[in-house]
Every structure is written in structure tokens, then in C-alpha cells.
Amino acid sequence: MVNIEHLTDRRPQVSPEELLEGFRPSERFGEVSFDTYIPDPNQPSQAQAVEELKKFGARVGSNSGGGGGFFSKLFGGGKPAGGGLNGIYLDGGFGVGKTHLLASLWHMVEGPKAFGTFVEYTNLVGALTFRKTVEALSQYKLVCIDEFELDDPGDTVLMSRLMRELSDAGVKIAATSNTLPGALGEGRFAAADFKREIQVLADQFEVIRVDGEDYRHRGLPEAPQPVAAGSEEATVQDKFPASATIAVDSFADLVEHLSVVHPSRYRQLIAGLDGICWKDVQPITQQAVALRFVVLADRLYDKDLPIISSGVPFDRVFTEEMMAGGYQKKYFRAVSRLTALAREGMLGEQNQ
């Protein structure tokens, strides 16, 4: 029999050290390298991006850390620690391999380093305070920020300030953009947006364009039909091996529970699980609830946890207003990822 647990019974307590330990590429990118990235021969910018990132990684590797920094250069104090620019930014559309490249850079660099999404860093500040986050990350050689988001002005200013202080401490920073599939042709504007938002740091970032078609295909895949109400646990027993541990929860109870668990702890919330089952999924109508759920969806996708659910399909879990509003990038990504996990859980299709 499959071992059944409940996310609503879990209230993980995580130390600052444990939080920081989690800032590494997810299992999906745990062993990638520049050698495993296959550039499209029809898109020369992809091969060029690999070479530029290797050069940047070599500069980071030669950086002994401390001293120098952004402001010393700004006011005539010499070059930033490690030589060259303090930051590198991958600008491109959805699904061209930017995360693979960023994770490859992280794996290449030796020494203290961090890798996380934009949201994970803002959550880290919320959990530790801004000053303690700066103190911790200032000891690192490299900080990688995946999916830099420009849809929340407050968070963008927060991250700009964090990056500025880390750069002043001599930390090298690498970032990628977050672009909608529908905006694939507009990806070139992301660099201008990014530079505007990081203000005085802009001239310290080298922008690398990564062109190409979305290898995951454009648009939202059709979400599989949920299972019938009342058949959820029987489906779990049928779909998963007897050794599996599956979290089975009422969807309403689950989203309520997320309000009492800080998003920085969602990685630990789902630790040790082999799959997820939600009963009676219904559209989320409150923005704050929806944004917390997006973070959980990202962590589930990181761990590649198949999902079985009843209720509405995941392409209806956010309202039309949300999908067309200011946070649409977050919601689009969440629907795409939840749909992929549902196809794996309910249809047995291996998620790529």
C-alpha cells in the first residue's frame, strides 16, 4: 500500500543555514554542464552564450572575494574584484535553455555560491531580514538569480538593492529573464527593462542574447482531465508503487495551510514525497493566495512530483483576470508546470 501523508500536517522549521543550503540548482539541473547544453546550429547566439559564460565563470573562479566591488570602481577605486564586469544577464525567450546555462555556470564555479529563483531570494529576505541576507550572501563568490521578475515594483527595488550591496562586496552576479511564450518575439526588450530596474548597477552587467525557439513548444499544453471525485486515493494506489509516499490533501485545506508556512520553507514542506494528490481543486480568487500557490507549484516542478487531482483542471485554477493581469507571467508558468506534472501523474507521461 502507498504511504499516505498530508501536507496540512507539516509545519517545517528551517534554520538559516538550511535555507541557504537549499540555494542550489534543482534536481532537474543537478548534473548539467556546458557540455550537456546542445546549441542550435541555426541560432549562433546559443554557442556564443556558452563561450561568454565560460569566460565569466573563469573570472569568478579567479576572484578571491572581498574588497574592490562596484562602488570602488564607480568612484575610481579600480576594477571590480576578479576583473571584468560584476554581472552577466541572459536575455531571451521562454524555453531556450537559459536555466540550463545558468546552472552550468553555477556547477563550473568552485567555492561558496548560491543559485535560486528571483522569488526564492525575495522569500529569503523575508525569512532572514535584508541585512542578514546581505551578510550571508556577501561571503559568496557567485550569486545566480533565475527568472528575474519585473512585475512587482517593490520586489524589483528590493532585489536591485540586494544586488547593489552584493556587488559592492565583490560578489559576481548572473541572472536570467522571465519571458512569456506569447512574448517570444519581444524578448529583446527584456534587457532594457532589466537595466532600467537595476539602475546604477546596469553598466556592470554584460547582456548576452540567447535566441531560439521554445524547445517545450509555445502556448499552454492542454491540461488533462481530473479524476472523478471520490476516486482520488484509489487512483493514487493504482498509479504509484507501494513504496511511494504521497501527500493527499483537500485543495481548500492545502491553500489555507500555505498561509501559515513561509514560502521559503516550501522546499522542506514537500521533502521526502514521491507525488501529490489534491481533492476538489477549485479556482483561486484571491491574489495573495494565488501567489503563494505559484511558489509551491515551482517547488513541486523542481522536484518533478507527479500530481493526481479532482475538481477543475489546472488551466482553470487561476481566474481570467489573474491570467491577464500584472502577474500573468507567474500564473502562466505555474499553469504550464502544474499541467506537466498532472500529465505525468494522471496520464503517465514522463515530464521533460
**Confidence check: pLDDT of 261 > 90:** yes
Phi-psi region for residue 9, left (φ > 0), alpha (ψ -120 to 50) or beta?
alpha
Q: What's residue 260's pLDDT? A: 96
End-to-end CA distance of the chain: 28
pLDDT score of 229: 96
Q: 349: pLDDT confidence band, cut at 50, 70 and 90?
A: low
Range name among 3-17, 72-86, 88-102 with the lowest pLDDT average: 72-86
Taking every pair of Cα atoms in the chain, the longest distance, rounded to a whole number of angstroms, is 69
Q: Which residue has the cell 486515493?
A: 233
Per-domain residue ranges of the chain: 3-14+220-347, 31-210
CA separation for the pair 328, 248 (Å, rounded): 28
Which ranges of the chain does DSSP label H, i.e. alpha helix? 16-21, 44-61, 69-74, 98-108, 118-128, 130-137, 153-168, 188-197, 232-239, 251-257, 266-269, 287-302, 320-324, 328-347
Using alpha carbons, select from 352, 350, 287, 275 the residue that is nearest to residue 318.
287
**Amino acid sitting at position 293:** F
How many alpha carbons fall within 13 Å on the CB side of residue 216? 19
Distance CA 306, CA 344 (A): 6
Burial level of 325, CB count in 10 A (0-12/13-18/19+)? middle
Structural domain 31-210, CATH architecture: 3-Layer(aba) Sandwich (3.40)
Q: How confident is the model over 169-205, as pLDDT tens digits?
A: 999 999 987 654 344 334 444 566 666 766 666 677 8
Give the chain's mean pLDDT.
85
What's the pLDDT score for residue 187? 42
pLDDT, tens digit, 9 for 90 and up, residues 238-255: 999 999 999 999 999 999
Packing angle of the helix pair 287-302, 118-128 (nearest 10 deg): 110
Q: Give the residue with greater pLDDT, 75 vs 102.
A: 102
Neighbouring C-alpha atoms within 13 Å toward the C-beta of 325: 14
pLDDT for the residue numbered 64: 53
Q: Which of 172, 175, 182, 111 is nearest to 148 (CA)?
A: 175
User: How distant, in Å, are the alpha carbons of 24, 73, 121, 151, 235 from that of 162?
Assistant: 18, 18, 9, 17, 46
Note the pLDDT of residue 347. Answer: 80
Q: How far apart are CA 181 and CA 171, in angstroms?
A: 32
| SS3 call for 71 | helix
